[in-house]
Amino acid sequence: MKKIITALAGTSLLTLTLGLVGCGDTSSTTEKKEVSAPGGTTTTTDKKEIKQTGKNPPSAETTTPAAPKM
């Protein structure tokens, strides 16, 4: 009986952990810029991360509204 309870508890913990890990989707972009000048070179790295959760999350893209029709 003790082995069954231990197995069920372990299975429940594993299921809960995997369920929580799969809830959100993330997307990231990395932009690297290198600028050369007479005094030297400068490198800038920008990393943007977008998190989305839920069944049907809104688009992560920035959209501009359509112009009004006349």
Tell me if 42 sits within 8 A of 34, measured CB to CB: yes
Domain spans of the chain?
25-52
Q: pLDDT per position in the chain (70 positions), as tens?
A: 888 888 888 888 778 776 666 555 667 788 888 888 888 888 888 888 777 666 665 565 656 667 777 6
Distance from C-alpha of 15 to C-alpha of 22, rounded to nearest angstrom: 11
pLDDT of residue 2: 84
CA distances from 48 to 28, 29, 31, 70 (A): 5, 5, 8, 38
User: What is the Cα 42 distance to its own chain's centre?
Assistant: 29
Q: Which residues is 14 bridged to in the sheet?
A: none
Query: Residue 50 CB: number of other CB atoms within 10 A?
Result: 13
